[in-house]
């Protein structure tokens, strides 16, 4: 099998490629940075620039499946111009793939796209399944809906489409966990806002195994990629501190402080999303890290 990956140079992409290569799957990847064309061992890099509709079309030669992860990071201050970048990087890159699939001779049978649980309406009580149509009204929920809408257009080409709504990815190599451990290591860690907001997390190893499982088993439709046990922000903060053997003695950091520090982006950590993993488990996927304590022990010890 040969897989084409977009956004391959990111946190999820690099880990996913390591897994696919270990399973003897051939990997091509698209990157917007020419300096990254030869940066991933055992794979072939191709250049694209969705902003000016530039793409090396040979990236799709003998490719059976596409995994689409590309998108500008949401973890940078959401200025009005950067918000446009977050949206357009996902919409334009998906449109480029659609055009490539429409205009090139290919043998692609499935496209699996990253998506995000940020699509669900923030709630302290609802457990969201993939069937839920209660979408949020904020910027992130809007981006995800636009992104998924573009991805859905690819199914009209007789290609199986799968959308993986990813939760908060825990990895020791980057992303949210490194930001969460910084203050705790400096003895200034504390839960955020009420601390009661749910964090639907997933260990990076389980996430990349879900992507591999989806392509191995030709699963289509929407799948949440979250561990079976969402925790509150307070529980997450306490569990990290326990794993790092650091004390927590400060009161919660008020939401208003987070808003002043991070701007609109504070919503990522202050809003609550309790998301169900039942669908992927019913499809036969087994999580290695079901509990936060074992996930953190594997990443932080």
Ligand X SMILES: NC(=O)c1ccc[n+]([C@@H]2O[C@H](COP(=O)([O-])OP(=O)(O)OC[C@H]3O[C@@H](n4cnc5c(N)ncnc54)[C@H](OP(=O)(O)O)[C@@H]3O)[C@@H](O)[C@H]2O)c1
Residues that bind ligand X (CB under 6 A): 7, 9-13, 31-33, 36, 50, 69-74, 89, 93, 114, 116, 166, 168-169, 175-176
- Quote the CA–CA distance of 208 and 174 in Å, as a whole number: 15
Closer residue to ligand X (CB): 74 or 127? 74
How many CA atoms lie less than 13 Å away from 239 in the CB half-sphere?
22
Q: Tokens 């950091």 correspond to what residue? A: 253
Q: Whole-number minimum distance, CB 200 to ligand X, in Å?
A: 10
Radius of gyration, CA atoms only, the chain: 19
Q: Whole-number minimum distance, CB 113 to ligand X, in Å?
A: 9
User: Is the separation of the CB atoms in 86 and 143 below 8 Å?
Assistant: yes
- Quote the CA–CA distance of 256 and 50 in Å, as a whole number: 37
Q: Whole-number minimum distance, CB 240 to ligand X, in Å?
A: 15
Q: Whole-number minimum distance, CB 76 to ligand X, in Å?
A: 9
Closer residue to ligand X (CB): 224 or 232? 224
Closer residue to ligand X (CB): 136 or 248? 136
Closer residue to ligand X (CB): 52 or 282? 52
- Kind plus residue range of the DSSP H or E element containing 295: helix 292-300
Closer residue to ligand X (CB): 163 or 248? 163
Q: Whole-number minimum distance, CB 247 to ligand X, in Å?
A: 27
- Kind plus residue range of the DSSP H or E element containing 11: helix 11-22
């Amino acid at each position: 099998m040969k897989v084409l990956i977009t956004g391959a140079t990111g946190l999820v992409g690099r880990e996913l490629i390591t897994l696919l290569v270990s399973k003897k799957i051939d990997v091509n990847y698209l990157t917007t940075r020419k300096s990254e064309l030869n940066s991933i061992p055992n794979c072939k890099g191709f250049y694209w620039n969705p902003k000016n509709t530039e793409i090396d079309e040979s990236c799709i030669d003998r490719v059976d499946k596409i995994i689409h992860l590309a998108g500008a990071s949401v973890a940078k201050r959401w200025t009005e111009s950067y918000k446009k970048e977050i949206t357009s990087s996902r919409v334009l890159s998906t449109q480029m793939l659609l055009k490539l699939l429409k205009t090139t001779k290919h043998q692609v049978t499935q496209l699996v796209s990253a998506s995000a649980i940020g699509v669900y309406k923030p709630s302290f009580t609802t457990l969201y399944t993939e069937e839920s149509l209660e979408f949020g009204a904020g910027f992130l929920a809007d981006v995800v809906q636009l992104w998924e809408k573009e991805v859905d257009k690819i199914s009209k080409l007789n290609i199986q489409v799968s959308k993986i709504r990813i939760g908060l990815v825990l990895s020791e190599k980057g992303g949210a966990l490194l930001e969460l451990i910084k203050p705790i290591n400096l003895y200034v860690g504390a839960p955020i806002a009420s601390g009661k907001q749910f964090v639907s997390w997933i260990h990076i190893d389980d996430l990349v195994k879900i992507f591999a499982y989806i392509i191995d088993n030709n699963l289509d439709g929407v799948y949440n990629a979250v561990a079976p046990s969402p925790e509150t922000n307070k529980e997450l903060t306490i569990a990290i501190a326990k794993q790092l053997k650091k004390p927590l003695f400060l009161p919660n950091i008020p939401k208003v402080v987070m808003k002043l520090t991070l701007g609109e982006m504070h919503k990522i950590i202050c809003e609550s999303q309790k998301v169900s993993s039942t669908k992927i488990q019913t499809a036969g996927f087994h999580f290695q890290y079901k509990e936060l304590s074992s996930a953190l022990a594997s990443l932080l010890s």
